[in-house]
Amino acid sequence: MKVMAVNGSPRKNWNTDTLLKNVLDGAASAGAETEMVYLYDLNFRGCRSCMACKLRKEPRPNRCVLRDDLTPVLDRIHEADAVVLGSPIYFSEVTGEMRSFFERFLFQYLNYDDYSKPLSPAKKTAWVFTMNCPEAWFPQVGYREVFQRYENWMKLYFGHCETLLSMDTMQVKDYSRYHLGMFDGKAKCQRHETVFPQDCKKAFELGVKLAAR
């Protein structure tokens, strides 16, 4: 059993990274082999719409033909039993690196002959989203729709997806050093000490589920 995590955050050892590490720890506790991929450490670009993965030739490519740092990552994910994608939310979306990865990840499996039957292998998948936004703001910023859209894509392509949300996260350790006056720094730090550990526990449990055969 191989479980891979793809980290779309530029900040190591922070919220998204911590949760993904807990997911992998949970998977490892269940006997899985694990791997973390940091997208911001790789040199790659999004889909170039070259359409080479859709060429009429045998054997059918069904895979992204671009050659860069993402190529071996996509190969390993293709063979993995489970994959969890993690990203902070910037301007109501995943990070730019995660979006570029997501294009390359899914478009290679898109079946334009029968859209309802992607060419991707069945596997367990999950999303981990972190955000500064409190849950009470979701209706006005449309976050629920964003998360549901990304979950639905994974379900369509791989047959399974679960989503873990970590909300109202701490952005910096010392709010007094930054122009972040609209936030209560003490409340953010207190939530990080009390609620975030609960999110970490949920992440660990998610990893255990992903590693279950």
Domain containing residue 10: CATH number: 3.40.50.360
Q: Which pLDDT score, from 0 to 100, does residue 156 have?
A: 95
d(CA 137, CA 64): 38
2-7 and 33-38 strand pairing = parallel
Q: Which pLDDT score, from 0 to 100, does residue 33 have?
A: 98
Q: Is residue 213 very low, low, confident or very high in pLDDT (cuts 50, 70, 90)? A: confident
Residue 210: pLDDT above 80? yes
Q: Is residue 58 very low, low, confident or very high in pLDDT (cuts 50, 70, 90)? A: confident
Tens of pLDDT, residue by residue over 116-150, are 899 999 999 999 999 999 999 899 999 999 999 99
Residue 207: pLDDT above 90? yes
Calculate mean pLDDT across residues 164-182: 94
Q: Which pLDDT score, from 0 to 100, does residue 19 have?
A: 98
Q: Which pLDDT score, from 0 to 100, does residue 138 have?
A: 93
The answer to pTM > 0.85 is yes
d(CA 169, CA 83): 24
Residue 82: pLDDT above 90? yes
Residue 32: HSE in the Cβ half-sphere, 13 Å Cα cutoff? 28
For 94, the domain range is: 2-211
Question: Which of 11, 172, 193, 29 has the alpha carbon at shortest distance from 86?
Answer: 11
Beta bridge partners of 38: 7
d(CA 121, CA 14): 31
Which structure tokens are listed for 161?
Answer: 């997806």
Residue 46: pLDDT above 90? yes
Q: How many domains does the chain have?
A: 1
Taking CA atoms, 83 is separated from 23, 78, 177, 180, 191, in Å, by: 10, 9, 37, 35, 28
Calculate mean pLDDT across residues 24-33: 98
Calculate mean pLDDT across residues 36-55: 95
Residue 60: pLDDT above 80? no
Q: Which pLDDT score, from 0 to 100, does residue 115 have?
A: 87
Residue 110: pLDDT above 80? yes
d(CA 85, CA 20): 8
Residue 167: pLDDT above 90? yes
Residue 206: pLDDT above 90? yes
85 alpha carbon, distance to own chain's centre = 2
Tens of pLDDT, residue by residue over 87-106, are 999 999 999 999 999 999 99
Residues 168-205 as b/e (b if ≥16 CB within 10 A, e otherwise) read bbbbeeebeeeeeeebebeebeebbeeebeebbebbbe
